[in-house]
Amino acid sequence: MLYVGIDLGTSAVKLLLMDASGKIEKIVSREYPLSFPHPGWSEQNPEDWYDKSLDGLRELLADCDKSQVAGISFGGQMHGLVILDKDDQVIRPAILWNDGRTTEETDYLNQVIGKDKLSAYTANIAFAGFTAPKILWVKKHEPENFAKIAKIMLPKDYLAYRLSGTFCTDVSDASGMLLFDVQHKCWSKEMMEICGVKESQLAQIFESYEAVGTGTVGDGSCNISLGTSGTIFISSEKFGVDENNALHSFAHADGHFHLMGCMLSAASCNKWWMDEILKTKDYAGEQKEIEVKELGKNHVFFLPYLMGERSPHNDPNARGTFIGMTMDTTREEMTQAVLEGVVFGLRDSFEVAKKLGIQIERTKICGGGAKSPLWRQMVADILNVKVDIPKSEEGPSMGGAMLAAVACGEYASVEEAAEKIVEVVDTVEPIPENAARYEKQYQKFRRIYPTVKELFPVIE
């Protein structure tokens, strides 16, 4: 039998066809536009997702026996708000995960409702990208649209609804809405009341997602994704929340839980630097002159907060910042600073996990940025862990296909599917001298944001 995994990304939808043994038969991708109607806003037209996915499915299945396709599963961008009216028409463009317009709503939830209550209700506090603050924003700024809402969906759930007619979501993605009681795996009555929504407007919940495609299941497993955003997933058998809610505590696809730290800009920082500033598409060429033996010696630092930041700072006003340049600073040092800044940002979340007593000695890695050998070495050195490279870098779409296979009975469990399908083909070891230098560099990096934090609202 064949299984399809669909990853609804921020800039493109990726569709993957997998056979029963886990072999990837074909991969198809379709891009769609992203709009920024105001500084810090980020929107998309849900109809584009549907049209491009259908077009991609036609190409994906063009050369196979379609009767052999046993199941399709979906993954993709979290937190986005899609609202439909009673006729199932999209009311307004989707407000995406990296949209920063909800500063007032986030402050209201965290400061007036209170972080302690939010954590008790949902296991998380409010972040600007979460769905609940977006609902409150629509309620305040677009009351006519709020009054029309019949269904509230996440992006990938809208796509599933259009293709299947089933109004549902999974516990993992529901965990990122700030409407879901993660510990008890049900919609939070308190949060529905706070946001002014009814349970009938919310999807039916099922067990589940994304890091499954890299085999990140089982207690203490870790995966880093260097995509548009940067994420650290740490799976856990036990439910847990850090004292400052700097990491998200979500339900996981293996039936247990995971901690997640999310940076709003990761590989997108490098894309911005290459495309918009250096005006080049030769990503590998720009990294060629950066020597591994010189890592940890850079005097230039970069704060990777081009869209604000989520974990662990929860600051939509934060901005990208270079510091440390001198008259002899080179192009290569600036490029290196961008790459290092992203990994330093990931380490911020890594440090929170360590304070919870979670010891991580190795991690898998996926996403577009993971294709860079230099960046992978930086991850190993800055985090001082072994970095395992899966044979397939198609984490979310592969995870979707694997979940479809599990749902169809091809594998008895998510753990079994991960064990049999996910293959590690290489491991990057941390270089002790680099790790020692980067330890000192990280201690410098972590002082920069608190020092300049008060400037960000001033320069808006």
Q: Which residue has tokens 């043994």? A: 21
Give the angle subtended at the CA of 206 by the CAs of 203 and 211, to the nearest 5°.
110
Torsion angles phi and psi, residue 231, rounded to 5: -130, 150
Is the Cβ–Cβ distance between 321 and 302 less than 8 Å? yes
Exposed / middle / buried, residue 386 (Cβ in 10 Å: 0-12, 13-18, 19+): middle
Determine if residue 79 is labeled as part of a ligand binding site. Answer: yes
Torsion angles phi and psi, residue 7, rounded to 5: -110, 105
Determine if residue 184 is labeled as part of a ligand binding site. Answer: no
Torsion angles phi and psi, residue 286, rounded to 5: -70, -25
Q: Which residue has tokens 């002159």? A: 289
Picking from 195, 181, 90, 190, the residue whose alpha carbon sits closest to that of residue 132 is 195
Q: How far apart are the first and last CA of the chain?
A: 54
Which residue ranges are tagged as binding site for substrate? 78-79
Which residue ranges are tagged as binding site? 78-79
